[in-house]
Amino acid sequence: MFKKTFKGGVHPDDGKRYAKDASYRAYLPQGELVFPMSQHIGKPAKPLVKKGDTVLAGQLIGEADGFVSANIVSSCSGTVKAVENRRTASGAKVMSVVIENDGQYTLAEGIGVERDYKMLGKEEILGSIQKAGIVGMGGAGFPVHVKLAPKNADEIRYIIANGAECEPYITCDDQLMRTKSMELAEGMRILLKLFPAAEGVFLIEENKPEAIAAMEKACAGDEKLKVHAAKCKYPQGGERSIIQVIAGIDLKLGMLPADAGCVVDNVATIYAIYQAVCKSIPLMERGFTVSGDVVKEPCNLIVKIGTNMAEVLETAGGIRDGKEAEKYLSGGPMMGMALADLNVPICKNNNALTVLGEDPVAKAEQQETACLRCGRCTRVCPLGLSPQEMMDAAKRRRFVRYEKKLYGLECIACGSCTYVCPAKRPLMQTFKQTKAEIMAKKRAAQAQQGGAKK
């Protein structure tokens, strides 16, 4: 029996009212498209094209350069304008292929060829997923073909489709489940071919009744497929939170989902798997929400990977008359990244542009006080960490304690601690910076050690 919720968590305003009933519509980009070679966790892809080359939609333009890496395909036809560093939503400059879109979207040979997945073996299915360049589309961007090849494949009990979509304002997964429920059910059956001992579970929060009804209809009559409605609580979409609810296991720090007999994939990822295996369509487009309290026409779009974020805000009508935008976010207000410039491409793991009339971080900075020792941050942490002690260690730069004693690198940066802090301390922001600094030191030490061996 599945649980209804997990330990910890918070209840922010979900902001779903702005775009939840906006039906999907396709958006075809007008300008150049930018394809960063790093749209995933792991080693960047290797560019396969050069300036002046003609490319087709669905053509491989970046080849995975290692086991933990992912292919990059063009989502348009046109001419390569440049292969150069371009800035992404993260703020980093990444080697990218820039394509001048010809507006024709001429498909490469073989794209769209239908196949019966029941006639394919495990290796053929995994090969199709790998070739398509599919990564985790809920935000993490982990190459899916790697996730689907755990060492203990026979011990996997649950394939969990993450349809929680707990991040405020974002509604593209809700629309996906409402409109593509049959395809999602087939995508789950494809995954169950890889893990025959498992059952497939679609976890959806209760604030999406239409999606729940659609998925229940699509799964009806298949005893290996289940739909579970969980309570609305953030961050229900985190892997550890989902595994608590479905498998009833508290994933220990350092453990992977496969160690608990689970594989967790976002519903958008499962739809991409269906497209790749059954339709021979690589990852070229995705669902994307443009929302926020100052957006004129909040919407859910099907966008081509590589589309400029400024373009999608324009197609949403821009900013409402008489309003001003103070905060632009790639993602939502809890885990999203602030954007200083909208001239960045939509990547595989970007699911939303959220525009707010007030900057909550700037407001909190004006109200910040010393820690009150109230313990609220510890009570809401879904991992059971101690944000109060982590903050102290981070401020004192006691990085060994932060990592080894307080398990600070396990933090998923959900922002729950920051949300409830009455002292308005920038806990999550500090933890992200601290993790980045620790990891940079580790990489430098490894590089130095490698150089010494040579």
| Residues making up the binding site for [4Fe-4S] cluster | 371, 374, 377, 381, 411, 414, 417, 421
Q: 371: closest CA among 434, 432, 418?
A: 418
Largest CA distance in the chain: 63
CA distance 427 to 27: 37
Whether 352 and 171 have beta carbons less than 8 Å apart is answered as no
CA distance 125 to 123: 5
Name residue 163's beta-bridge partners: 204
Known binding positions:
371, 374, 377, 381, 411, 414, 417, 421
Q: Is 385 exposed, middle or buried (0-12, 13-18, 19+ CB in 10 A)?
A: buried
Q: 16: closest CA among 245, 132, 178?
A: 178
Whether 265 and 186 have beta carbons less than 8 Å apart is answered as no
E-state strands within 9-150: 24-27, 33-36, 46-47, 54-55, 60-63, 72-73, 78-87, 93-101
- How far are the Cα atoms of 1, 192, 223 from residue 189, in angstroms, in the given order? 22, 5, 11
Could you tell me the sign of the dihedral formed by the alpha carbons of 13, 411, 239, 309, in that order? positive
Instruction: Sheet containing 54-55: give its strands across.
Output: 33-36, 93-101, 78-87, 54-55
Long-range contacts of 45-53 (CB under 8 A, 24+ apart): 45/69, 45/70, 45/71, 45/72, 47/83, 47/95, 47/97, 49/80, 49/83, 49/97, 50/80, 50/83, 51/80, 51/81, 51/82, 51/83, 52/79, 52/80, 53/79, 53/80
Query: 285-291 and 352-356 as β-strands: parallel, antiparallel, unpaired?
Result: parallel
- Convert 226-263 to b/e letters by CB count within 10 Å (16 or more is b): bbbbbebbbbbbbbbbbbbbbbebebeeeeebbbbbbb
What is the chain's length? 454
